[in-house]
Amino acid sequence: MPTNSPFKTPAAADAYRAAYAATLALWPVPHAPLDVSTSFGTTHLNVAGAADLPPLILIHGFAVSSTQWYLNVEPLSRHFRVYALDVVNQMGLSVAARALKTRADCAAWLVEVLDALQLERAALAGHSYGAWLALNLALAAPARVERLALLGPAGAFAPISARFLIAFLSAVFVPTRRMLYGFMQQTTTQRLAGQRADIEQVVAGIRSFNSQQLAGPVFAVFTDGELRRLDRPTLLLVGDHDISCRPRAVLDRARRLLPHLEAELVSDGGHMFQVDQAEATNARLLKFLTE
């Protein structure tokens, strides 16, 4: 493999790309790949929706990719030009030239993506680590953010729980299908029966990528002062069974600090509630984003 390849071997690259394509095939709307250049490397996106619709940036969570939005993209793309991006240094098709090492790096990368797309500002929706990245951008460059939807934002309002971290790291260090499905079962309220394309993509990714590609993301709980100055309309949704945090404590802190906030618990929702409760999530997202 080339020295800058994120994959262990050419065969590993082929296996992961096949798994990525299998999840992307679940997208029920026409979509097109797009690669844009930034100083952090090439960012890969999957784009759906008419070109004349307002822009919506979707940012996925840790150890997954833009394909994760397969149950959300159809209703969103009726109202928005959806740009679902693969975060650099994560398990997608973006190719990093340098790592995101600081909060400033994370914001700068997203600003460069918006610049490359010729978007002065856009609505952002992020899940888990993607929600952290979206919130970080809104604090660093609020003029680039129209509205902000945070879905199960890991590490933004409270530290990630030890239970979640131990379960994830156990699956990474012992990446058998059984261990990985066991971890994923803890993130969802739905019973996982048989193999599922999106989870098979995670299995392939953990087996295929170099260790540096699986390094921990930039995380920092935002301070009271930072959250008080957030001036963008914000939607916060947290699953009531999310093991990555104490859901009600996260909502309580956000409600106390964010001045322009709508916040709700998602009934019977785990950390992956945009899949668990896709219909309700999509309806709530559209209500907020189209107000």
Query: Strand 41-48 relative to strand 55-59: parallel, antiparallel, unpaired?
Result: unpaired
Q: Is 4 inside any structural domain?
A: no
Cα 225 from Cα 206, distance rounded (Å): 37
Q: What is the number of structural domains in the chain?
A: 1
Q: Is 3 inside any structural domain?
A: no
Q: What's the pTM?
A: 0.96
Q: Would you place residue 215 in the very low, low, confident or very high pLDDT band (cuts 50, 70, 90)?
A: low
Question: Where does the chain have alpha helices with state H?
Answer: 10-24, 73-79, 103-116, 129-140, 162-173, 177-186, 197-208, 224-228, 247-257, 273-276, 278-289
Cα 90 from Cα 45, distance rounded (Å): 13
Tens-digit pLDDT profile for residues 165-202:
999 889 888 888 999 999 999 999 989 888 899 999 99
Q: Is 93 inside any structural domain?
A: yes
Q: Is the pLDDT of residue 206 over 80?
A: yes
Q: Would you place residue 291 in the very low, low, confident or very high pLDDT band (cuts 50, 70, 90)?
A: confident
Q: Is 154 inside any structural domain?
A: yes
Average pLDDT, the chain: 94
3: three-class secondary structure by DSSP: coil
Q: What is the DSSP letter of 127?
A: E
CATH of the domain at 188: 3.40.50.1820
Tens-digit pLDDT profile for residues 122-164:
999 999 999 999 999 999 999 999 999 999 999 999 999 999 9
Cα 144 from Cα 123, distance rounded (Å): 9
Q: Would you place residue 210 in the very low, low, confident or very high pLDDT band (cuts 50, 70, 90)?
A: confident
Q: Is 2 inside any structural domain?
A: no
pLDDT at site 216 = 63
Domain around 150? 10-289
Q: Which two tokens stand for residue 167?
A: 């379960």
What per-residue string of b and e applies to 138-170 under the rule 16 or more CB within 10 Å gives b?
A: bbbeeebbbbbbbbbbbbbbbebeeebeebbee
Contact 232, 262 (CB under 8 A): no
Q: Is 24 inside any structural domain?
A: yes
Cα 175 from Cα 157, distance rounded (Å): 29
| Residue type present at position 240 | D
Q: Is 214 inside any structural domain?
A: yes
pLDDT at site 173 = 86
Q: Is the pLDDT of residue 269 over 70?
A: yes
Q: Is 67 inside any structural domain?
A: yes
